[in-house]
Amino acid sequence: MNAQRALRRQGPARRASYQDVLDAPAHMVAEIVEGALYTQPRPAMPHALAGLSLGDELVSPFQKGRGGPGGWWIVAEPELHFGEDVLVPDLAGWRRERMPEYPDTPWCALAPDWVCEVLSPSTRKFDLEEKRPVYAREGVAYLWFVDPAARTLEAFALQDGAWTPAGSARNDDPVSFPPFEAVTFPLGALWP
């Protein structure tokens, strides 16, 4: 796999606009951070499986209230608009008390309560160094990073504008981290 697949768009010194996101090829994920357009191909199979499997572990108890408290919207790859920034996390969740009605729009401007980024060699630096500060600035309360290659999950909570560790797991460790500590699942459920 080419570790340089997540490329910053080169070209004239101008700020990217939402039109650049719309004009990106359909097989690419396009995001804007601080005026720069970033594009990358759709995720590789281990990345996609980890994201889908994590969503599977969270949707029943937290969105549907089956075996858990309910009260959340859990969404795969939502398009988030924060001013000029456009981000597409692998998963995001909103407490229904903050988003009582599910939007019927192609994107959302309300910051999620929780975001999960699935790391891959091509997006690791972008997720950790470019997107993480935007999530903090926008007040996302919880941020998880899943790494399928290392078989790890690192959870963080936003406190006074800074990310503080909220838990970590590897291989098949049990996962029960904020904001989803009401349910425990094995991290190994995310790996093939």
* Contacts with 19 (C-beta within 8 Å, 6 or more apart), sequence order: none
What is the sign of the dihedral through the CA atoms of 66, 96, 158 and 4? positive
Res 10: pLDDT: 41
pLDDT for 117-155, tens place per residue?
999 998 999 999 999 999 999 999 999 999 999 999 999
Q: Bridge-partner residues for 163, per DSSP?
A: 158
pLDDT for 56-87, tens place per residue?
999 999 999 999 999 999 999 999 999 999 99
The span from the CA of 89 to the CA of 144, in Å, is: 11
What is the sign of the dihedral through the CA atoms of 106, 111, 117 and 121? positive
The verdict on pTM exceeding 0.85 is yes
Architecture of the domain whose range is 43-79+88-190? Alpha-Beta Complex (3.90)
* Domain boundary assignment for the chain: 43-79+88-190
Mean pLDDT, to the nearest integer, of 19-35?
95
